Structure 1
Amino acid sequence: MTPQPPENRDKDGRAEGPEPGPWTDLERPPLNTTALRRALLRPDTLWTSLDVVRATGSTNTDLAARAADGAAEGAVLVAEEQSAGRGRLDRRWSAPPRSGLFFSVHLTPRVPMPRWGWLPLLAGVATATALSRDAGVDTALKWPNDLLVTVDGTERKAGGILAERAADGVVIGIGLNVSLRADELPVPGAGSLALAGARSTDRDTLLRSVLRSLDHWYGQWQAADGDPAASRLQEAYAAGCATLGRSVRAELPGDTEILGEAVAIDGDGRLVLATADGVQQPVAAGDIVHLRPAGEDTDGRRT
């Protein structure tokens, strides 16, 4: 029998590090934790710690537990594989090991709490900006929390963002499909940076870029006391939002819906819909079950 390499475990018993070994799946090398820490954990940055685990259920859940135990703001937790990643309304998110970036960050904003709702939108702007610059992929935002790329002329979801309250702050999880091939996509409407023609799928480079961009936008937003207009966050989100200008159907709890053209993102981060009767109706992310194109059914087919 061929000897197997030992499995590394962190203090909580979770598998960590690049085991079973960097020699497995050479097209998808493990993240270089040492190099990432050297590049990101500096006195003049937001980031205070960075850990990479081989596999876990959810980085958001794990980092929230660390926050409850006193983890500082700026803690970053990355997983090479997530078995229970999730998005809004507990929707599942899965991908093969080392095929994407699956990570969470702990933030404790020092701005008025009503403005905390901008954090997932801020994370979207930061991620899309970094990917467009360093992966060479035009990355758009679908309100409120999806990252879109274009594959063969069609918009596909390549990533998502989930913000959750944790201890005295917020944990923001970001999941991004990087090197997934067509036969690995979890659903037909999914995409990846590789399928979108990215000039780079080096996950170390992309993770550094996204975290630096997040540091920049978070700092700018906090310096403006969370004001989305003064920090230019509202302007940047609107500029990159693929939802604006389209006719959509906002499905609400209780089998109700609002049809209208998405015309703006308001100061509270809500999507403003102009309905056929001339009303401008703001919709908050927490109020909707689904946001679909107006002519699309629940299975994603045009009607």
Structure 2
Amino acid sequence: MSSPYSDLGRPPLSAASLARALVRPGELWTEVRVVSSTGSTNTDVAAAAADGAAEGLVLLAEQQVAGKGRLGRTWISPPRAGLHVSVLLRPGRTDPDGHRPVPPARYGWLTLLAAVALRDAVHRLAEVSAAVKWPNDLLVGPAGEPATGKCAGILAEMVPDPDGAGPAVVLGIGLNVTLRADELPRADATSLALAGGTCADRDPLLRALLRGLADWYGRYRGAGGDPVGSGLAAAYRRVSGTLGSEVRVELPDGGTLVGRAIDVDDDGRLVVTPADGRPVPLAAGDVTHVRPAC
């Protein structure tokens, strides 16, 4: 019997099968592409967006050799051991259902929207403990135990719209699925297999993720990007592993801010209350790291 971590236990994804399941008239996903290897799916989709690609493009790479993370970090994984997917969204245009463009100030919620969809898909299918670390990480652990290992990251990038509308957004997601311990990129990372996940099949995980993304994006567009009216703010608070905890925020200038993470505001910024009691809103671009205060 082959090891679950062998190449035989890491079957390829089928673009045709995924397209049959996910591409439907009038729905969000319009095209599914699968490539064997690329530098960064975000870079590739950003280029497609600049060339006028339609909203709903999905690009998956069986392997990324220069995947992007926040602040110039990289995300590299063995072939077929994880999900490396980027999608193209155009919230700055009126959509086919007549929903008006979303104000760019609300674009910050798209990373959190993806985090909610990813967390729920992983928790439901793999049956692991899962929580979202603001702004863009998914933490997991064995069922019934704290979610402490980084299993996924999300990166949102804005691309100018060639037709002059609000910027397009490329959402990239990297999820460790069957990586073993010696394949992990960092000491605090893990994978669904290592966390005891009951599902390590990338196909159903991807389908659940993309369906969840489409559902939440539809609600977000229908509410004009309003996180409260769409229900997204409440959903994020439900799955957050950051809110309510004491955190140490490392800032780009080398300074730090220590306090309690009390909420996420209407623009998706983390609100931290330090010892002096004055809440401080922090956008993702304003911080280098958010860590437990202890």
TM-score, length-scaled by structure 2: 0.90
Cα deviations by residue, 1:98-143 (Å, 9 ceiling, x for unpaired): 0000010000002112111111011101111111112222321000
Name the amino acid aligned to 1:213: G
Task: Report what 2:127 is aligned to.
Answer: 136
Q: CA deviation at 1:243?
A: 0.6
Distance in 1, matches of 2:25 and 2:281, equals 41
User: Residue 63 and residue 154 in structure 1: after superposition, are their counterparts in 2 closer, same or farther (change >3 A)?
Assistant: closer
Bigger mean CA offset, 213-222 vs 195-204? 195-204
- Supply the RMSD in Å over aligned alpha carbons: 1.3
Distance in 2, matches of 1:174 and 1:153, equals 22
Task: Give SS of 1:26's match.
Answer: helix
Task: Report what 2:189 is aligned to.
Answer: 190
Q: Does 1:293 align with 2:292?
A: yes
Distance in 1, matches of 2:189 and 2:159, equals 29
Task: Report what 2:153 is aligned to.
Answer: 160
Q: CA deviation at 1:94?
A: 1.1
Q: Does 1:258 align with 2:254?
A: no
Larger Rg: 1
Distance in 2, matches of 1:132 and 1:274, equals 30
Distance in 1, matches of 2:27 and 2:122, equals 20
Q: CA deviation at 1:153?
A: 5.3
TM-score, length-scaled by structure 1: 0.87
Matches within 5 A, 1:232-251: 232-251=231-250
Given that residues 141 and 243 in structure 1 are in contact (C-alpha distance below 8 angstroms), is that contact kept between their aligned partners in structure 2?
Answer: yes
Q: Does 1:106 align with 2:88?
A: yes
Matches within 5 A, 1:1-303: 25-109=7-91, 110-151=101-142, 155-168=148-161, 169-295=168-294
Given that residues 52 and 79 in structure 1 are in contact (C-alpha distance below 8 angstroms), is that contact kept between their aligned partners in structure 2?
Answer: yes
Distance in 1, matches of 2:186 and 2:285, equals 24
Task: Give SS of 2:52's match.
Answer: coil
Distance in 1, matches of 2:160 and 2:253, equals 31
Distance in 1, matches of 2:116 and 2:261, equals 18
Identity %: 57
Bigger mean CA offset, 195-204 vs 214-223? 195-204
Given that residues 64 and 167 in structure 1 are in contact (C-alpha distance below 8 angstroms), is that contact kept between their aligned partners in structure 2?
Answer: no
Q: CA deviation at 1:284?
A: 1.2
Q: CA deviation at 1:154?
A: 5.9
User: Residue 114 and residue 68 in structure 1: after superposition, are their counterparts in 2 closer, same or farther (change >3 A)?
Assistant: same
Distance in 2, matches of 1:229 and 1:88, equals 26
Unaligned runs of 5+ in 2: 1-5, 92-100, 162-167
Q: CA deviation at 1:246?
A: 1.2
Cα deviations by residue, 1:178-211 (Å, 9 ceiling, x for unpaired): 0111221111100111111111111111111100
Q: CA deviation at 1:28?
A: 0.4
Distance in 1, matches of 2:90 and 2:258, equals 36
Distance in 1, matches of 2:117 and 2:269, equals 18
Point out 4+ residue stretches in structure 1 off by more than 6 angstroms.
none
Given that residues 137 and 149 in structure 1 are in contact (C-alpha distance below 8 angstroms), is that contact kept between their aligned partners in structure 2?
Answer: yes
